[in-house]
Structure 1
Amino acid sequence: MKKILSTMAVLAAIGSALPAHAADKKVMMPIAGAMEDNGAKERLGDSIKFYFGTQKTPKVLEKRGSDQTSQKTNAFAKSDQAVCHWAFLSAMLALQKRAQEVGADAVINITSNYKNIPYSSETDFECHVGNVVGGVALKGDFVRLAGGKK
């Protein structure tokens, strides 16, 4: 019984120490690099156009709503780049799916939105990596653009 109690005490001590050692590192990554990895360009295709930050877009004919997504992935024993690129692709696929659902042909004003703190860039996105999990949060506006498909 003593052995069981001491084992439980050790496990409890280890368990309570884990959160103190958990990392939450902010990593800024180039969008272009993420779009070149994991077959992102092919998987996203060209049916929905994506515009980051304040990138110039064709004339917006109609706004179809806004949304955000927060995508997580396993970070255990993976590089920050691998984690961030995978979570970015997952977030982009979620925005694409929502755009298709609302009949949009583009997602504009895409910004990072980790813990609801916006970060706008035409070239980079924000990713957070921990010891076990990494994630990317994005938000954007779904629109129909002039010259887009009907």
Structure 2
Amino acid sequence: MKALSLSLVTVVLCVAQVSAHARDTQHLLPIADAIQMKDRDGVLDGSVKFYFAGQKHPVVLQKLGTDISNQKTNAFGKSDEQACKWVFLSTLVQFQKKAQQLGGNAVVNLVSYYKKNELADSEKFECHAGAVMAGVALKGDIVKIGDK
């Protein structure tokens, strides 16, 4: 019984050590490269426009709310860059759905928001990739904008 308890403790300590050293690689990737994927896959329908922090946008007619989308994707068998682009698009799709539900046609002031750390960049987004998962978190204001 004592040997079994000692073995169990050893296994728990080994698992804890492996978990403590799990990969969590930060990537700052170009927004434009990831958005180009939408044209191939058709995941964004164009009904909602996206404007990252610092980007000029048409006048906001009505702010409908602020939202956060924190998406993860399976990164197994994919490069970090490929997984990050995919999960970035999934995050935008979630914003598109939320904007449509609220009657909005744009998301403005988009920032990376990984672990609630804000990174405002109009050209790059933050993604974290591990051995089996990749994640992107964005925060933005859902709005109605004018046509011009």
- Tell me the TM-score normalized by structure 2: 0.88
Q: Is contact 1:35–1:41 with CA below 8 Å preserved after alignment?
A: no
Q: How far off is 1:100 after superposition?
A: 0.5
Within 5 Å, give how 1:67-146 maps onto structure 2: 67-146=67-146
Q: State the aligned residue count.
A: 148
Question: Runs (4+) of structure 1 moved beyond 3 Å?
Answer: 1-14, 38-41
Output the aligned Cα RMSD: 2.2
**For residues 93 and 4 of structure 2, what CA distance do their matches in structure 1 show?**
48
Structure 1 unaligned regions, length at least 5? none
1:50 aligns with 2:50: yes
Output one character per residue of 1:101-145: Cα deviation in whole Å (capped at 9) or x when no partner: 110010001110001111011111000111221100001101111
Give structure 2 stretches of 5+ with no counterpart: none
Give the C-alpha shift of residue 11 in structure 1: 3.9
Residue 77 of structure 1 deviates from its aligned partner by 3.3
Relative to structure 1, the CA distance from residue 76 to residue 38 in structure 2 (aligned partners, 3 Å threshold; closer, same or farther) is farther
Percent of aligned pairs with the same residue?
A: 43
TM-score w.r.t. length of structure 1 = 0.87
Give the Cα–Cα distance (whole angstroms) in 2 for the partners of residues 93 and 79 of structure 1: 21
Contact 2:38-2:44 at 8 Å conserved across structures: no
